[in-house]
Amino acid sequence: MIFLPIVGRELRVAARRRSSYWTRTGLALGAITIGAFLYLANADAPPQLLGPRIFPALVWLGMLFCFYAGRRSTADCLSEEKREGTLGLLFLTDLKGYDVVLGKLAATSLIGFYSLLAILPVLAIPILLGGITSGEFWRMALVLTNTFLFSLAVGMFASSLSRKSRRAMGVNLLLLVSIVGLPGACAWALAVCLPSHPFYPQLMLSCPFYSLYLSDASLYLSHKPVFWASVGIVHGLTLLLLLAASWIVPRSWQDKPRQTARSLASAFESSSSKAAPQAYRTRLLNRNPFLWLASRSRSKPLLVWGVLAFVAVWWIWASLQFGMLWLSDSNSGTNIATVIMLNVALKLWVPLEASRQLAEDRQSGAFELLLSTPLTVGDILRGQWLALRRQFLGPVLLSYGVVVGFMLMSIRHSPAEHHSLFNAWLAGLLLFAVDVAALGWTAMYAAFTTRSANQAVVVTVTRLLIAPSLLLIAIIVLTTMYASFSSEPPPELSAYLPWWFGLGLAADLLYGLSARRRLRKNFRRLACAEQARHH
């Protein structure tokens, strides 16, 4: 019998895909482009500082890629097989749990691993510029590879525990935060809140970012045992998570009755009024049937309010910690940080909810029933928007009020910059409203053109948020480079406000209006095409 037969087959299949070649080529070109921009932006620096300035930026970007690629590759691979009912067929043979886990791991991670190998030569270029040793490069490469494997293992373990895509993604994120961020946050909190309490670096050993930090040549010599202990612990956690997933998969692929869910539901109904849920369902059905379908969970708005409450508690704690200095002009960046937290949370949450119901109905075949009812395409799209409004309208209006308060506060503390500050805050408020609308339409369209709601969110965020940001960064780097070559002072940040607003608005109009038109025109064809491919 051949050892690990699924691994060999999956590697051969994945190696022949065109995406395996094009993805690693694109990542390598992207790394070269970013490295070229960093080089041009630091062209006026002394030669001995070029390498130390470019290398860390590329390495940290590579670190973020490792976490993203691992999460994207394996977070839903086993749970998707459970939903489709194909995982149980594998266990009708003499395959073991580790055969399936390692086979799926090889199939889903090959493109990401190829991409990581493609960007490593770009990371070696700063060695030629000076200031970076070969040992530092190889330590960084080891940490990046170890982090990539760890991210894959976390996703595989989370996927083995779940059946639904959303739950698998949630468990994946919870594990990453618990292993990577929580111990270090506890160490930092103890050191800050209890000044007499020493800082324990041992709590940081499970964090790959800590081993990356210790890879620096100036720190490695004095922290050599700690570095290798951190690498070993992360690698040990990787093996432990894979072994746990291999043990769980053969025991979790069957459909089980939801006795717990029923008991919880019956307990909830017995402790609360039964007339209230019935009236709630009737009200939603009378207004729009698809609104009822997308809003059956009454706790969704509470989750959004909970996030806003967390941000509010964080801001209040900072106000008490730093006093009125927190509100002064010298610390106005804290208000901007709060606005950014609200902005990012809502702009990532809206496309997820806009695409989730449509993607789930597409995968389950519900559109075959929905499109055979008197419901029109306009009713379905209107119901989805009503569900989004029910969940996000209150938090968005409150966020607008908070931002307006911050705007008035910053203008009062900086009367000399009244005009520029007003324009910046007003542009942010207008762009946020347009972004939300465009994110909703684009995510709804992407739900029909991608495999899952999570991929729809990635496509939507990349088109509407990441791409304009990268173009803006390129413009800033080019103008800074031109100013350094022409011996002119670089432009102030306020000079880039029209570019930021214009690029964001152009992306919203381009993709948002196009998605809205295609959905209204080709909704039935898209749904039927997906159902045919599903069957």
Q: What pLDDT is stored for residue 263 in this prediction?
A: 41
Q: Tell me the one-letter amino acid at 412.
A: R
Q: What pLDDT is stored for residue 317 in this prediction?
A: 66
Residue range 272-298: mean pLDDT, rounded:
69
Q: Is the domain of 360 the same as that of 444?
A: yes
Residue 287 belongs to some domain of the structure: no
Q: Tell me the one-letter amino acid at 284.
A: L
The answer to whether residues 432 and 364 touch, using CB atoms and an 8 Å cutoff, is: no
Residue 303 belongs to some domain of the structure: yes
**Domain enclosing residue 91, as ranges:** 5-254
Q: Is the domain of 249 the same as that of 298?
A: no
Burial readout 111-129 (b: 16 or more C-beta within 10 A, e: otherwise): bbbbbbebbbebbebbeeb
Residue range 421-446: mean pLDDT, rounded:
88
Q: How far apart are CA 206 and CA 142, in angstroms?
A: 15
Q: Is the domain of 224 the same as that of 306?
A: no
**109-118, 362-371, 507-516 — which one is most confidently predicted on average?**
507-516
Residue range 476-503: mean pLDDT, rounded:
79
Residue 286 belongs to some domain of the structure: no
Residue range 369-398: mean pLDDT, rounded:
86
Q: How far apart are CA 263 and CA 259, in angstroms?
A: 6
* CA within 13 Å, CB half, 26: 8
Q: Is the domain of 43 the same as that of 172?
A: yes
Sign of the four-CA dihedral 136, 138, 144, 150:
negative
DSSP 266-324: HHHHHHS-SHHHHHHHHHHHHH-HHHHHHT--TTHHHHHHHHHHHHHHHHHHHHHHHGG
Q: What pLDDT is stored for residue 1 in this prediction?
A: 42
Q: What pLDDT is stored for residue 363 in this prediction?
A: 74
Residue 267 belongs to some domain of the structure: no
Residue 103 belongs to some domain of the structure: yes
**25, 140, 226, 272 from 197: Cα distances, Å:** 50, 32, 21, 47
The answer to whether residues 146 and 62 touch, using CB atoms and an 8 Å cutoff, is: no
168 in the Ramachandran plot: left (φ > 0), alpha (ψ -120 to 50) or beta?
Answer: alpha
Residue range 28-50: mean pLDDT, rounded:
75
Q: Tell me the one-letter amino acid at 340.
A: I
Q: Is the domain of 246 the same as that of 323?
A: no
Q: For 307-365, how does the pLDDT look when each residue is reduced to its tens digit (9 = 90+)?
A: 888 878 777 766 665 544 444 444 455 567 677 778 888 888 888 888 888 887 887 77
Using the predicted structure, report yes or no on whether residue 292 has a pLDDT greater than 90. no
Q: What pLDDT is stored for residue 129 in this prediction?
A: 79
Using the predicted structure, report yes or no on whether residue 420 has a pLDDT greater than 60. yes
Share of the chain above pLDDT 90, in %: 9
Pick 198 or 385 by higher pLDDT. Answer: 385
Pick 474 or 243 by higher pLDDT. Answer: 243
Largest CA distance in the chain: 79
Using the predicted structure, report yes or no on whether residue 81 has a pLDDT greater than 80. no
Q: Is the domain of 205 the same as that of 300?
A: no
Residue range 239-244: mean pLDDT, rounded:
90
Q: Is the domain of 174 the same as that of 296?
A: no
Pick 261 or 75 by higher pLDDT. Answer: 75
The CA-CA-CA angle for residues 135, 138, 143, to 5°, reads: 125
Using the predicted structure, report yes or no on whether residue 93 has a pLDDT greater than 80. no
Q: How many domains does the chain have?
A: 2
CA 279, chain centre distance (Å):
37
Using the predicted structure, report yes or no on whether residue 59 has a pLDDT greater than 60. yes
DSSP 167-224: HHHHHHHHHHIIIIIHHHHHHHHHHHH-TTSPP-GGGGTT-HHHHHHHTSHHHHTTSH
**76, 128, 370, 451, 528 from 365: Cα distances, Å:** 19, 56, 9, 14, 10
pLDDT band at 273 (very low <50, low <70, confident <90, very high): very low
Q: Is the domain of 223 the same as that of 309?
A: no
Q: What pLDDT is stored for residue 423 in this prediction?
A: 79
Using the predicted structure, report yes or no on whether residue 261 has a pLDDT greater than 60. no
Backbone φ and ψ of 256, nearest 5°: -120, 145
Q: Which of 433, 423, 426 is nearest to 404 (CA)?
A: 426
pLDDT band at 240 (very low <50, low <70, confident <90, very high): very high
Using the predicted structure, report yes or no on whether residue 438 has a pLDDT greater than 90. yes
SS3 assignment, position 110: helix
Q: How far apart are CA 214 and CA 42, in angstroms?
A: 25
Which of 197, 231, 254 is where one domain is finished?
254
Q: How far apart are CA 527 and CA 403, in angstroms?
A: 39
Q: Is the domain of 346 the same as that of 477?
A: yes
Q: Which of 15, 231, 276, 51 is nearest to 141 (CA)?
A: 231
Residue range 224-243: mean pLDDT, rounded:
90
Angle, helix 77-84 to helix 165-176, in steps of 10 degrees? 160
Q: Is the domain of 165 the same as that of 78?
A: yes
Q: What pLDDT is stored for residue 270 in this prediction?
A: 43
Using the predicted structure, report yes or no on whether residue 507 has a pLDDT greater than 90. yes
Name 105's Cβ contacts closer than 8 Å, sequence gap at least 6. Answer: 74, 152, 156, 242
Q: Is the domain of 114 the same as that of 198?
A: yes
Q: Where are the alpha helices (DSSP H) in 365-417?
A: 367-370, 377-413
Residue 516 belongs to some domain of the structure: yes
* CA within 13 Å, CB half, 23: 17
Continuous segment of H or E residues that includes residue 508 = none
Residue 535 DSSP symbol: -
Chain position carrying tokens 């006795």: 259
Q: What pLDDT is stored for residue 324 in this prediction?
A: 45
Q: Is the domain of 304 the same as that of 163?
A: no
Using the predicted structure, report yes or no on whether residue 145 has a pLDDT greater than 80. yes
Using the predicted structure, report yes or no on whether residue 265 has a pLDDT greater than 70. no
Residue range 242-266: mean pLDDT, rounded:
63
pLDDT band at 377 (very low <50, low <70, confident <90, very high): confident
* CA within 13 Å, CB half, 51: 18
pLDDT mean across residues, the chain:
78
Sign of the four-CA dihedral 255, 170, 289, 378:
negative
Q: Which of 129, 466, 225, 386 is nearest to 457 (CA)?
A: 466
How many other CB atoms sit within 10 Å of the CB of residue 53? 16
Residue 455 belongs to some domain of the structure: yes
Tokens of 176: 């990453």
Residue range 286-296: mean pLDDT, rounded:
77
Using the predicted structure, report yes or no on whether residue 268 has a pLDDT greater than 70. no
User: Could you tell me the pTM of the whole model?
Assistant: 0.68
pLDDT band at 301 (very low <50, low <70, confident <90, very high): confident
Q: For 155-184, how does the pLDDT look when each residue is reduced to its tens digit (9 = 90+)?
A: 888 888 887 777 777 788 788 888 887 787
Residue 280 belongs to some domain of the structure: no
pLDDT band at 2 (very low <50, low <70, confident <90, very high): low
